[in-house]
Chains A and B, each alone.
Chain A
């Protein structure tokens, strides 16, 4: 079980490195799709079927959107070389971040040994208090419904933003300013 998890997560990491380093934008987008699908299996093995379902479907839409965007951009803009100094500096900073994270993780209980205190309360009481057998839904729409309200607002804002940015009339006006 452990080795399956390690293998799948390693596969996800390799896929994300491939996504960043691929020359062709289309291949990079497909590699990111592979990352999301691999991750959804990891979520399933970690006992989170809700998240696995959502992750699969979200990844499908993200990949479709990115392919539309990538096919709109001509190929010659894709291979942009980064200078050696900047690559090394970026990789160094990323390594420092990983090191700090691992150091911080030392204070956590070891993986798979302990749950936080509220977990037991939610698991014992949620079905009686809310009537929902799926405790994740019970938290999402009853105990922490304000989160969901805020999240719906965030999606509304993001979509309104995307629609406003891509609206056709604003393009005309923009042009007259140039």
Chain B
């Protein structure tokens, strides 16, 4: 099937150029989420879009697509645990999910360090989680064994 090989050389080269930019853009949207429109959800979805592009262009078995597929579930778990750890760190300031880091001047990146860190944890969680779901659906097509599917269909009919 054409999906397992990925797409043509043109698409793969352009993807290689764009992938870094997409990931940086997603990171920037999440990093400045407390000052400008955006945040962990939008940034994470943009990062997941970059991974999806990689898996569509390179196929699931080699290139960056394979790397992301292998690590998606682990990154998903790391993101969830990081969010929980940051929430528990709030106890140092008095309560669960309280802002604990010292706050800098208003309207700068350092104005709310706890929110920045939470945004990055959400970026990791949403990006890896959505990509894991997508790769399961996209690669399901490849792993599906036509013989078994047909015989199952026959058994049901």
A residues with a Cβ closer than 8 A to B are: 49-50, 52-54, 57-58, 60-61, 64-65, 68-69, 72, 127-128, 130-134, 136-138, 140-142, 145-146, 148-149, 152, 155-156, 158-159, 162-163, 166, 168, 171, 175, 178
Contact present for B45 and A54 (CB under 8 Å): yes
Contact present for B137 and A57 (CB under 8 Å): no
Contact partner of A133 (CB less than 8 A), chosen from B83, B107, B155, is B107
Q: Which chain A residues lie closer than 8 Å to B34 at the CB level? A: 131-134, 137-138, 141
Q: In the complex, what's the smallest C-beta–C-beta distance from A14 to chain B, in angstroms?
A: 26
CA distance A42 to B130 in the complex (A): 25
Q: Which chain A residues lie closer than 8 Å to B148 at the CB level? A: 171, 175
Contact present for B39 and A162 (CB under 8 Å): no
B residues with a Cβ closer than 8 A to A are: 29, 33-42, 45-46, 48-49, 52, 56, 73, 76, 80, 83-84, 87, 97, 99, 103-104, 106-107, 111-112, 114-115, 118-119, 122, 125-126, 129-130, 132-134, 136-138, 140-141, 143, 148, 152, 155-156
Q: In the complex, what's the smallest C-beta–C-beta distance from A135 to chain B, in angstroms?
A: 10
From B41, B84, B106, B155, residue with most partner A Cβ within 10 Å: B41
Asked whether A131 and B111 contact (CB < 8 A) given A50-B39, A145-B118, the answer is yes
Q: Which chain B residues lie closer than 8 Å to A158 at the CB level? A: 133
Q: Is the interface of A mostly helix, strand, loop or mixed?
A: helix
Q: Which chain B residues lie closer than 8 Å to A171 at the CB level? A: 148
CA distance A158 to B132 in the complex (A): 11
Q: In the complex, what's the smallest C-beta–C-beta distance from B153 to chain A, in angstroms?
A: 11
Contact present for A166 and B140 (CB under 8 Å): yes
Q: Which chain A residues lie closer than 8 Å to B29 at the CB level? A: 53
Asked whether A131 and B106 contact (CB < 8 A) given A141-B119, A152-B125, A156-B80, the answer is yes
Q: Which chain A residues lie closer than 8 Å to B155 at the CB level? A: 178
Q: Which chain A residues lie closer than 8 Å to B73 at the CB level? A: 163
Q: Which chain B residues lie closer than 8 Å to A72 at the CB level? A: 140-141
Q: In the complex, what's the smallest C-beta–C-beta distance from B87 to chain A, in angstroms?
A: 7
From A131, A152, A171, residue with most partner B Cβ within 10 Å: A131
CB-based nearest B residue for A156: B80
From B34, B80, B83, B148, residue with most partner A Cβ within 10 Å: B34
Contact present for B133 and A57 (CB under 8 Å): no
